[in-house]
Amino acid sequence: MKKNRTIIILLILILTMGVLSGCSQGRHKIENGKIFSEEGLLQGDYGFFDGQYLKKVDFQEGSRVTFGYAVGTLSGELSAYFLNPTDDTRYLIEDDATYEIKESGTYKIEIVGNSHSGAFALEWKID
């Protein structure tokens, strides 16, 4: 009886961790490659990417964030967006774009692939 209870608890924990980790990075499908992130960098190289990948970043009011963005496309489409903490303002990210942070909080960088095959690099620095 105790063994079954332990197994059920472990399964619930594993399922919860899987759901939470999926929510933190959007809903997407990647084949033959990956997307990874470091401090100030998102980078992907894959045979196929479809969906949305999210990266959360904390910014302070009054700072400025400048993006560097490069995409290599074999097929499909890829776009990048910058979302404010309440997700009600969404800016298209282009290379060398600068945005002023109007309120402190957790912002999102969103990569959206539409059957994209290729690679991208998106970096940001805070002034």
Question: Mind listing the pLDDT tens digit for each residue in 17-50?
Answer: 444 443 346 688 888 899 999 999 999 999 999 9
Q: Which residues have CB under 8 Å from 17's CB, separation 6+?
A: none
- Degrees, nearest 5: CA angle 15-27-57: 95
What contacts 5, CB < 8 A, 6 or more positions away?
A: none
Whole-number Å distance between alpha carbons of 39 and 35: 14
Domains and CATH numbers, the chain: 26-126 (2.60.120.380)
Alpha helix stretches (DSSP H) within the chain: 2-24
pTM equals: 0.76
Q: Give the residue-averaged pLDDT of 80-92.
A: 92
Inform me whether the pLDDT recorded for 100 exceeds 90: yes
Q: Which residues does 88 contact at the CB level (< 8 Å), separation at least 6?
A: none
